[in-house]
Amino acid sequence: MSASYPLQTAIRVRTYELDSFGHVNNAEYLHYLEEARSEFLLQMGLSFHDFAAHHVQLVIVEASLRFVSPARYGDEIVIRGRCRDVRPASAWIDYVLTDRATGRVVATAETKGAFIDAATSKPCRAPEPFRTAFGAYTGAESG
């Protein structure tokens, strides 16, 4: 695992994710990022149950993807991530998606998540466990 991208998971490309050209459909990458965020939470010592316990939600308010090379059926895509710009009520996550077999970059991405109060749907401060966990996984070199 790379120190600059301390979070990691993998997804194997399935047939139903392909477009008519045999490549992973562009929209599927957002699903891959969603799955990665779920796994990243577990790696940070949190889970989706913690959102309910703290009465908050994390909604994606921005997403950007750059497609570098196509992924195809059967490819195992390694998704590495790090948190960035962790603020009291939001944080960015950076991603690099690579083919496990070749190491080639498939895509890069970033998402911005904002915390909202589950009852009111209004922005709110992230609970301390989330701020601490996100801050610990920035990929910054310790020193």
**Backbone Cα Rg of the chain:** 16
The residue written with tokens 């196509």 in the block is 70
Q: Is 19 a catalytic residue?
A: yes
Whether the Cβ atoms of residue 121 and residue 78 lie closer than 8 Å to each other: no
**Marked catalytic residue, from 19, 50, 75, 85:** 19
- CB atoms under 10 Å from CB of 26, counted, come to 11
Q: Which are the catalytic amino acids?
A: 19
